[in-house]
Structure formats: structure tokens, C-alpha cells
Amino acid sequence: MLVVSTNAPAHHLENLNTPYPNRGACEAAVADFNSDDRDMLLERFPNFFSSNGEVASFLTRAFPCEQSDADGQWYIKNRLAESLSSDWYLRRK
């Protein structure tokens, strides 16, 4: 199982409660976080990822943007567990 230690950058997890006014703003933030974390994840978990593209695809699936029914704002959602157990992820192992 892939586990990111608490001392590793986890920009996505740190911003789960940050509201974004629209989907574009949320996805731009996720793209920035992906860029910031991609190399670190590839370096720390070479048994799980073989390329930057694979890490980027994983992060996009693991941290999607979803609109809240409660306030209409967009939030990054933590779908890490679902992503690690998905057919997509299991197929690539």
C-alpha cells in the first residue's frame, strides 16, 4: 500500500477544506499541487510509479474537484483509498 508519511509534502490533503469559487480554480490548484508533489512521489515510491505521467494520472484520480451541495463552492476530495483499490491502479501493478 502507498502511504505518504506526515513529513512528506501533501498539498492536496492540506487543502481539502479550502473552498474554490469555481471548478477551474479548484482544478488549477490541483494541477499546481500535482506539479509540486509529482517528483517526490516518483522518487519515494518507485515500486508504485514508473513515470511522471503515471503519478500525474494517479493524483488526478485520487484528488478530484467536486462541488458542494451545501455552499456551492468547489473542494478537493480525498479519493485516495478508492484510487488505490481501483481497477485502473490494480491493472498497472
Query: What pLDDT digit, counting tens, does each position of 58-80 carry?
Result: 898 899 999 999 999 999 999 98
Radius of gyration of the chain (CA): 13
- What are the sequence ranges of the domains in the chain? 13-92
pTM beyond 0.75, yes or no: yes
Q: Nearest CA to 20 among 84, 81, 92, 75? A: 75
Amino acid found at 5: S
Q: What average pLDDT does the segment 46-54 reach?
A: 86
Res 16: pLDDT: 93
Residue whose cell numbers read 513529513: 7
Three cell numbers at 83? 484510487
